[in-house]
Structure 1
Amino acid sequence: MQKQLTKFSLSGAAIGILLITAPQEAFAMHIMEGFLPPMWAIAWWLIFLPFLATGIVRLRRIVQEDSNQKVLLALCCAFIFVLSALKIPSVTGSCSHPTGVALAIILFGPSVVAVLGTIVLLFQALLLAHGGITTLGANAMSMAVIGPMVGYLVWRFSCKLGMRKDVAVFLCAFFADIVTYTVTSVQLGVAFPDPQMGAGAAIVKFMSIFCLTQVPIAIAEGLLTVLIYDQLVKRQLVQVPAWSFK
C-alpha cells in the first residue's frame, strides 16, 4: 500500500514540475497580488487564520494516529496543486481552472483542506505568479475553506440519502468547484462595487465572467475525481471514512 501511494504521489509531483517549468502566460483566476484594497486583504486574512489553525490541529492528530497517512495527505496535496494549476483562459483576460479539493475532503474532512490549500496557494503564488501573498487569505477562504465546506456537506448529505459512491464523489467535487468561484465573485464584488448599481451588480458581473467555462470544468473535475477515487478504493489504498455514514 505504501509503495502504491508513493507512486501516485510521485506521478502528481512530476506533473507539477512540468507545469512549473513549462512556459505559459499567467491568466490568474486567483485574486492576484495587490489587487484587493488593503482593508479587504487584511480582513480576509483575519477571517481565514482560525480555519488554518483548526486545520493544523486536525492534521497533526491524523499524522499522530497513523503516520502512514502522510503519503496519502501528500497525494491529496499534489492532486490539488496539479488540478488548480491547469489554468484555462476565460473571457476578459481571466481564467478558469479545477480546484482538486474533493479527494482530500472525502478522505480527511474539510478542515485539513485549509492547510493543504494554503500550501498549494503559497507555492502557486511564489512559483507560478498565480495569486499572491496579500490576497492569499481571500483565495484560501474561497478554495480551501468555503468551497470544501460546501463539498463536505454535499458528500455527507449524498451518503445519508444512500446515493452511489461515485455519484456522491462527483457531486462533492462539482459543488466544491462551483462554490469556490461563487465566493471569489462575492469577494471581488464587495471590494469593487458597481458605481451605479452597487455590490450586487458587481457580483453578478464577476460570476458571469467564469460561468461559461467553469460549469464544464466542474463537470470534468467531478468525473476525474470519481476515477481517481475508484482506483484508490479498488487497490484498497483507501476506505470510505466511517463518518460519511453517520
Structure 2
Amino acid sequence: MKKLKLVLVSAFLLIILNPINSNAMHIMEGFLPMQWSIIWSVIFIPFLLIGLKSINKVVKEEPKKKVLLALCGAFVFVLSALKIPSLTGSCSHPTGVGLGAILFGPSVMVVLGTIVLLFQALLLAHGGLTTLGANAFSMAIVGPIVSFLLYRFLKKRNVKTGTNVFISVALGDLATYTVTAIQLAIAFPDPTGGIMGSAAKFLGVFFMTQIPIAIAEGILSTIMYNLIAAKEGKGVDYDECEYEINE
C-alpha cells in the first residue's frame, strides 16, 4: 500500500509542478454548441444511474473494497489531470479509467469518472459543466467499456495478465479519444469533407500525442495492477473483483 501511495503522490506533484498552460482539458466549457451539450447529457444520464446502482452494490456487499474504489478514483484524477495541449478547446491526457474497469467493471467507473470530471471542472477549470455529459460519455463510459470487454476477451484466450491489462488499458484510452474526435467532428463538420473529414483531422492531431500517452498509461496501469495483486497476496481475479452491470 505504501508503494501505491508513493506512485499517486508522485503523479500529483507532477500536476502541481506542471508548467504547461493549456486552454482546457477534455472538451472545454462552452466549446460545444448548446444542442450537443444537451444531447450528450441526455445520453449520459442513464449510464450514470446504472453506475450508481452498481457502486452501491459494491459498497454494501464488499465494504473492504471501499479503499480500492477510492484508489481507483484517485488514480483517474491524477492521470487525467496530466495534460498535453493538442486541439483548440481540448487537449491530450491519460484517462486512468481502464484499471478500475478491469477491477470493478465499467458501470462503477461511470460514477468515479464523472466525479473526477466534475471536480476538475469546478476546481481546476478543466473541462466544464456544459460539456460534462460529452466528456463523461467518452472518458467514463466508452473508455471503461472498451477496456472491460477487451480484458474479458483476452482473458478467455489465456493471454498473460500483464499483457492483457496493458492492451486493454491502452486501447480503452485510444477509444476515449476516438469518441472525443467524433463528438467534435459532429459539432464542427468540415465545410468540404463533412463529419468524416473533420473526424479524420481531429484524430490525426489527437493521436500524435495520444498514442504514446496510451502506451505509457498501459504500462503504469499494469504496474498498479501488479502492486494491488501483490498487496492482496494473489492475482486479482476478474470473477472476484468485477461487478456485472445487471447484477
**TM-score above 0.5:** yes
Which residue is 1:149 aligned to? 145
Tell me the CA shift for residue 71 of structure 1.
0.7
Which residue is 2:189 aligned to? 193
Identity of aligned residues (%): 53
For the pair 1:239 / 2:236, whether they are aligned, the reply is yes
Moved more, 204-213 or 90-99: 90-99
Asked if structure 1 preserves the Cα contact closer than 8 Å seen for 2:26 and 2:90, the reply is no
Pick the aligned partner of 1:25 from 21, 24, 27. Answer: 21
Which residue is 1:69 aligned to? 65
Q: Aligned with 1:44: secondary structure?
A: helix
For the pair 1:54 / 2:36, whether they are aligned, the reply is no
Which residue is 2:245 aligned to? none
- Cα 1:117–1:93 change in 2 (3 A) is closer
Spell out structure 1 runs of 4+ moving beyond 6 A. Answer: none
Asked if structure 2 preserves the Cα contact closer than 8 Å seen for 1:16 and 1:78, the reply is no
- Cα 1:174–1:88 change in 2 (3 A) is same
Asked if structure 2 preserves the Cα contact closer than 8 Å seen for 1:9 and 1:71, the reply is no
For the pair 1:119 / 2:118, whether they are aligned, the reply is no
- Measure the CA separation in 1 of the matches of 2:173 and 2:180: 11
For the pair 1:80 / 2:80, whether they are aligned, the reply is no
Asked if structure 2 preserves the Cα contact closer than 8 Å seen for 1:188 and 1:203, the reply is yes
Which residue is 1:179 aligned to? 175
- 1:31 alignment partner AA: I
Which residue is 2:225 aligned to? 229
- 1:51 alignment partner AA: F
Tell me the CA shift for residue 235 of structure 1.
2.1
Pairs aligned (count): 241
- Measure the CA separation in 2 of the matches of 1:236 and 1:174: 24
- 1:184 alignment partner AA: T
- Measure the CA separation in 2 of the matches of 1:172 and 1:84: 17
Asked if structure 1 preserves the Cα contact closer than 8 Å seen for 2:28 and 2:89, the reply is no
TM-score by length of 2: 0.90
Q: Aligned with 1:148: secondary structure?
A: helix
Tell me the CA shift for residue 93 of structure 1.
7.9
- Cα 1:93–1:63 change in 2 (3 A) is closer
CA RMSD of aligned residues (A): 2.3
Which residue is 2:198 aligned to? 202
Tell me the CA shift for residue 240 of structure 1.
1.6
Asked if structure 1 preserves the Cα contact closer than 8 Å seen for 2:51 and 2:111, the reply is yes
Q: Where in structure 2 are there 5+ consecutive unaligned residues?
A: 243-247
- Measure the CA separation in 2 of the matches of 1:76 and 1:198: 39
Q: Deviations over 1:136-182 (max 9, x none)?
A: 00000000001111111110000011000001100111111000000
Q: Where in structure 1 are there 5+ consecutive unaligned residues?
A: none
- Cα 1:22–1:170 change in 2 (3 A) is closer
Moved more, 83-92 or 225-234: 83-92
- Measure the CA separation in 1 of the matches of 2:116 and 2:36: 22
Tell me the CA shift for residue 207 of structure 1.
0.7
Q: Deviations over 1:46-66 (max 9, x none)?
A: 000000000000000000001
Q: Deviations over 1:94-153 (max 9, x none)?
A: 531111111101110000010000011011111221100000000000000011111111
Moved more, 13-22 or 194-203: 13-22
- Measure the CA separation in 2 of the matches of 1:93 and 1:63: 37
Tell me the CA shift for residue 90 of structure 1.
3.1
- Measure the CA separation in 1 of the matches of 2:37 and 2:93: 22
